[in-house]
Amino acid sequence: MSTPDGEKVMAHLSAVTLDRALSPLAADSVLRHLEGQRQLVAHIKALMRRGRGL
């Protein structure tokens, strides 16, 4: 995320996963799919922090 393009990519991934709220009526499969996406984005962010030595 040290480049402008990297910042844009991570902002987009965060917006479509971490910052997304679903309706209480969302199907279980939709909730599970989104949670998997969130886990992947969180893992990428953790790898980035580790790479920076934070």
Average predicted confidence (pLDDT) for the chain? 93
Measuring CA to CA, which residue among 2, 45, 49, 39 is closest to residue 17?
Answer: 39
Distance of alpha carbon 45 from alpha carbon 48, whole angstroms: 5
Contact predicate 14/40, CB 8 Å: no
Residue 21's pLDDT is what?
94
Contact predicate 45/10, CB 8 Å: yes
Q: pTM of this prediction?
A: 0.81
Percent of the chain scoring above 70 in pLDDT: 96
